[in-house]
């Protein structure tokens, strides 16, 4: 079978699910290609996969830099407030601006490559539109469960794109997900209204070749270990908002009876870090996050979905400090299901962070719930089942 995967032109959209799913499909004997913008195609090829470069597909950040899309008004306050994801902006960006060019490029690709199945990550609507236009079975790899997929603004914008491609409007909020949705966290993480009949849930295997940094492996063992990171993208935003937040985190951990590991982000070398330092806090530019979470007692996170998934699979309680995108929704959900505490950026102080860290370290119920979700994560089938399930679910549905 020929399977075409598609994703936004962003590594953070490829890495959590698209690339591992494509690797499993290839190992199962399927012919596989991954379609996205040229800017991230190298990441695909480094995994030994076939990359299809879509000429008109660029990342959201580049679209905003070009002035083709006005960023959210609060983006200029990055690092000072939590920037909530507006459904209208999500609709304008991921459907209105990005989906059309991707769909047209994919239609051209499909005429030559002729896939039997298209699997697109959940914010990449071009794969859905191209599959609908060409009558190809399709399914969704859900990398953002808390994104506003069912909001009327998204449905309206998607219907506009359908009409432009000669398709009938459908007016159905979950139409994109109607045949097959692959989730990678236990169903418990999804609010009840988001639990669809088409959903299947899988366990993403942990990396097998990673080796933990010896310096981190040798950290003191007489205190709880708290890992903290604001993600790979935070350091690239203008201004000093991310540095200010990292300073608060480092200073707070320095005052607590813990061992801290703080990932400063790419480009921030510990030896050149001009911000806060503490004797009990190890600074690094990069950390083997998924590996270290297995032996962490708490996780301070921006609540990006990939880190959230990894922490749930490791059974680690979280303190979530959402920055932007759907992170605030992820943080709210973690608090709702009792495995974390949320602090908005504007409310982050050494006092509020210390209280939250103590809470997740000392709250037995929070830790028990985190362990329960870990067990549920480990009980999910592996990604080797995904293609088989997708084929069965989409048979006759195009």
pLDDT per residue over 94-110, tens digit each? 999 999 999 999 999 99
- Give residue 233's pLDDT: 65
- Give residue 14's pLDDT: 93
All structural domains of the chain, each given as residue ranges with its CATH number in brackets, are 2-72+83-203+380-394 (3.40.50.2000), 214-378 (3.40.50.2000)
Q: At which residue do the structure tokens 């366990």 appear? A: 203
- Give residue 236's pLDDT: 59
- Give residue 80's pLDDT: 85
- Give residue 237's pLDDT: 63
Pairing, β 138-141 against β 117-121: parallel
Q: Which long-range contacts (CB under 8 A, 24 or more apart) does 381-384 make?
A: 381/201, 381/202, 381/203, 382/24, 382/202, 382/203, 382/205, 383/20, 383/21, 383/24, 383/202, 383/203, 383/204, 383/205, 384/24, 384/27, 384/28
Average pLDDT along the chain, 398 residues, taken 10 residues at a time: 96 92 96 97 96 94 82 77 92 95 97 96 98 97 96 97 97 96 97 96 83 93 96 66 92 98 89 94 93 96 95 97 94 97 97 98 97 97 95 81
The CA-atom distances, in angstroms, between 158 and each of 34, 64, 87, 125, 152 are 23, 20, 13, 8, 10
Pairing, β 199-201 against β 225-229: unpaired
- Give residue 276's pLDDT: 94
């Amino acid at each position: 079978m020929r399977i075409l995967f598609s994703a936004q032109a962003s590594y953070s959209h490829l890495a959590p699910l698209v690339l591992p799913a494509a690797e499993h499909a290839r190992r199962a004997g399927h012919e596989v290609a991954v379609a996205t913008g040229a800017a991230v195609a190298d990441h695909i090829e480094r995994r030994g996969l076939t990359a299809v470069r879509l000429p008109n597909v660029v990342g959201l950040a580049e679209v905003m830099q070009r002035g083709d899309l006005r960023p959210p008004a609060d983006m200029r306050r990055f690092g000072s407030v939590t920037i909530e994801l507006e459904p209208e902006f999500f609709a304008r960006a991921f459907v209105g601006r990005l989906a059309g060019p991707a769909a047209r490029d994919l239609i051209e690709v499909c005429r030559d490559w002729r896939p039997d199945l298209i699997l697109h990550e959940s914010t990449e609507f071009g794969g859905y539109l191209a599959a609908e236009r060409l009558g190809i079975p399709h399914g969704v790899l859900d990398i953002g469960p808390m994104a506003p997929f069912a909001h009327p603004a998204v449905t309206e914008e998607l219907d506009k794109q359908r009409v432009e491609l000669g398709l009938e409007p459908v007016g159905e909020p979950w139409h994109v997900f109607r045949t097959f949705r692959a989730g990678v966290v236990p169903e418990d993480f999804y609010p009840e209204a988001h639990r669809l009949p088409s959903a299947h849930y899988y366990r993403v295997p942990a990396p097998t070749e990673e080796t933990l940094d010896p310096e981190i492996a040798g950290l003191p063992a007489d205190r709880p270990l708290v890992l903290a990171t604001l993600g790979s993208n935070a350091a690239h935003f203008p201004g000093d908002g991310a540095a200010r937040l990292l300073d608060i985190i480092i200073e707070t951990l320095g005052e607590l009876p813990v061992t801290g590991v703080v990932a400063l982000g790419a480009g921030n070398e510990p030896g050149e870090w001009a911000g806060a330092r503490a004797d009990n806090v190890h600074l690094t530019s990069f950390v083997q996050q998924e590996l270290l979470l297995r032996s962490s007692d708490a996780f301070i996170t921006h609540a990006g979905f990939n880190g959230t998934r990894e922490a749930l699979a490791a059974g680690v309680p979280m303190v979530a400090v959402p920055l932007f995108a759907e992170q605030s929704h992820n943080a709210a959900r973690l608090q709702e299901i009792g495995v974390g505490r949320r602090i908005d950026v504007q409310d982050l102080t050494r006092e509020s962070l210390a209280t939250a860290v103590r809470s997740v370290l000392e709250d037995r119920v929070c830790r028990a719930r985190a362990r329960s979700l870990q067990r549920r994560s480990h009980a999910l089938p592996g990604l080797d089942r995904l293609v088989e399930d997708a084929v069965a679910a989409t048979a006759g549905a195009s």
